Structure 1
Amino acid sequence: MNNRLTIKGGFKHGRSYLKDTFFTPPFRVVDVSEHRHDPTAYVMVMSSSPGMLDGDHYDINIEVETGCSLQLQSQSYQRIFNMERGASQLQQIKLHPGAAFTYVQHPVVPHEKAIFKGRNRIELADDCLLTFGEILTCGRKHSGEVFRYTSFHNITEVYHHAKLLVKDNLLLQPLTVDMAAIGQMEGFTHQATLMHVDTGEGIGADLVPALYTLLEEEKEVALGISSPSKQVLVLRMLGNGGEQLFNALQKVAHHCRHYKTQETHS
């Protein structure tokens, strides 16, 4: 089944807001903004479906207009069920000049024999701020389904004026590759990736060490943070619990937003 979701964030009278949305079942979009003094718009994507089924395709388009600050939230863990053909998702995100977008998604749980192929294409204009995080689990760990899915392939590309800034190509095939091997999960069961991109003044030199300090109390994890260019920061984290990684990415995203605000007013 083809499922569509469109979200557009606008900016007016000094405040960001949900300007327009269109969705087909099982999607639903809710404005969850609470504080009138907060100029950011908070929007939650909800779903009436228990997860992605065989043959499902999600077509998601998100546009953040000039000056808008939009924080998107997912409702719960995303399950990918047993499949023969597979499911797919295309997510296209566009930020206009001076826009900010934050999206740390709940962990993905691929069930036994799940097959998934996804692509995230993110286009940024000048003076944009992007924080985008995703988490992949090993499956239904507490039900004994550890790395029993067939294939998970997800590509994320971030562009600035049609120039590729960073690309993440994640392909896991646990039925054919030993997930405990060197270069794979090496004993961990969950992994998280967060990209933070600033097409304005760029990433500050002190942000990477600040994030290491922020995460130094996390137990039984392995992590690495790199800044391949002045505009891009990438964090990769391995662990054994979805909630732990989700909370850690939320902390990082909050710090990145606060860091930018402090930098602007310093």
Structure 2
Amino acid sequence: MPIASNTAIADRERYRTAVLDVSAAYRGDRTVLAGRYCTSPIKIAKTFPEDKSLCVMIMDASPGMLKGDRYEMQWAAEAGAQLCLTNQGFTKVHPCTPELGASMENRYRLAAGACIETMMKPIMLYKDASFTNRTVVELERGAVWMQGEALSPGRVLRGERFAYERLDNRISVYYEGELIHHQKQLVRPGRQLIAAPGAWETYSHLGTFLVFSDRVDTALLESVRAVLDRLPFSSDQLYAGAAMTYRHGLTVTAAASSSWIVQHMLKEVWNEVRQTLLHLQPSRIGSVG
């Protein structure tokens, strides 16, 4: 047995790592979990079927992520399997020291014709929080991956609007081994002009929706833009736009004045993409966020 390096030992002492590893398969006419493994404090709270998809509710049995906490989650969908993922509450990140923050990594592997929909509750960074968030997606031909994400500026009612230390948010998408999309977001409120033109300005919340598949086309883009045009909010409440990515993708980005508005926008866009791309009705898991 190889001896662990000094760096590996130091990492174990420095970080507290929780793991969730899930694989799904298509059996008969439905999706089932082919394998699952987790370590505290994250686990699967429940699963329930929805048409040919399997909805998975994730639970974090802790008050939130503390300094040095690291969550590593892996999701694998075999050919034809369909997963719809959500969680029970906000991803809350507590104050961290400048040199040691909290981190989360999600990796998705989708075989041909598989589908994973990820619709988690918002990320909320408390005062002095530092959070690194990594997402890696690997798609095979015909697979569909989509994600809705909402970012809160903090506990606004406690005066913690943009009081966190750092957010480092990155997403990489691969199609048949080729990197087709990479985006990164680095927010450091204490060092940036949050209210400057082109930044947050007067808005407080950020929402993003991504969908990647070789089935994404301009017709889907137009239908999503039509949804955004129909939303019952003024430009002071919501500023949103949709665009095609370099290859096989569509992205929606929105700045809003409240969490509820972001949630409503994400839910409406998600419903449209489900119906247009997958020919599915709205999911029963409820609002995004």
Same fold, TM-score > 0.5, yes or no: yes
Matched, 1:91 2:102: no
Q: How many residues are paired up?
A: 259
Equivalent residue, structure 2, for 1:212: 225
Deviation at 1:164, TM superposition (A): 1.3
Paired residues for 1:1-266 under 5 Å: 1-35=16-50, 38-84=51-97, 85-199=100-214, 202-215=215-228, 216-219=230-233, 220-229=237-246, 231-262=248-279
Name the larger-Rg structure. Answer: 2
Partners of 2:119 and 2:198 in 1: CA distance: 25
Query: For 1:156-188, what per-residue CA distance to the aligned partner results, in whole angstroms no more than 9, with x for missing partners?
Result: 011012211111201100011111012211111
| 1:10–1:18 CA contact under 8 A, matched in 2 | yes
Partners of 1:198 and 1:213 in 2: CA distance: 20
CA RMSD of superposed structures (Å): 1.5
Instruction: Determine helix, strand or coil for the equivalent of 1:179.
Output: coil
Q: TM-score with structure 1 length normalisation?
A: 0.93
Partners of 1:12 and 1:34 in 2: CA distance: 13
Deviation at 1:198, TM superposition (A): 1.2
Mean CA deviation greater in 102-111 or 244-253: 244-253
1:89–1:230 CA distance, 2 compared to 1 (3 A): closer
Instruction: Determine helix, strand or coil for the equivalent of 2:218.
Output: coil
1:261–1:115 CA distance, 2 compared to 1 (3 A): closer
Mean CA deviation greater in 243-252 or 227-236: 243-252
| 2:72–2:105 CA contact under 8 A, matched in 1 | yes
1:139–1:233 CA distance, 2 compared to 1 (3 A): same
Q: Which runs of 4+ in 1 moved over 4 A?
A: none
Partners of 1:34 and 1:164 in 2: CA distance: 32
Partners of 1:190 and 1:33 in 2: CA distance: 31
Partners of 1:119 and 1:179 in 2: CA distance: 23
| 2:238–2:261 CA contact under 8 A, matched in 1 | no
1:8–1:243 CA distance, 2 compared to 1 (3 A): farther
Deviation at 1:191, TM superposition (A): 0.3
Query: For 1:119-154, what per-residue CA distance to the aligned partner results, in whole angstroms no more than 9, with x for missing partners?
Result: 111100110011112111110111111000010001
Letter in 2 for 1:48: A
Letter in 1 for 2:40: P
Q: What are structure 1's unaligned runs of at least 5 residues?
A: none
Query: For 1:62-85, what per-residue CA distance to the aligned partner results, in whole angstroms no more than 9, with x for missing partners?
Result: 111111011011111111101102
Deviation at 1:49, TM superposition (A): 0.9
Instruction: Determine helix, strand or coil for the equivalent of 2:135.
Output: strand
Partners of 1:180 and 1:64 in 2: CA distance: 41
| 1:104–1:249 CA contact under 8 A, matched in 2 | no
Instruction: Determine helix, strand or coil for the equivalent of 1:252.
Output: helix
Instruction: Determine helix, strand or coil for the equivalent of 1:33.
Output: strand
Instruction: Determine helix, strand or coil for the equivalent of 1:206.
Output: helix
Deviation at 1:251, TM superposition (A): 2.3
Instruction: Determine helix, strand or coil for the equivalent of 1:66.
Output: coil
Q: TM-score with structure 2 length normalisation?
A: 0.86
| 1:10–1:16 CA contact under 8 A, matched in 2 | yes
Letter in 2 for 1:25: S
Q: What are structure 2's unaligned runs of at least 5 residues?
A: 1-15, 281-289
Partners of 2:96 and 2:155 in 1: CA distance: 15
Partners of 1:247 and 1:28 in 2: CA distance: 27
Letter in 2 for 1:172: V
Partners of 1:26 and 1:113 in 2: CA distance: 23
Partners of 1:70 and 1:255 in 2: CA distance: 18
1:93–1:262 CA distance, 2 compared to 1 (3 A): closer
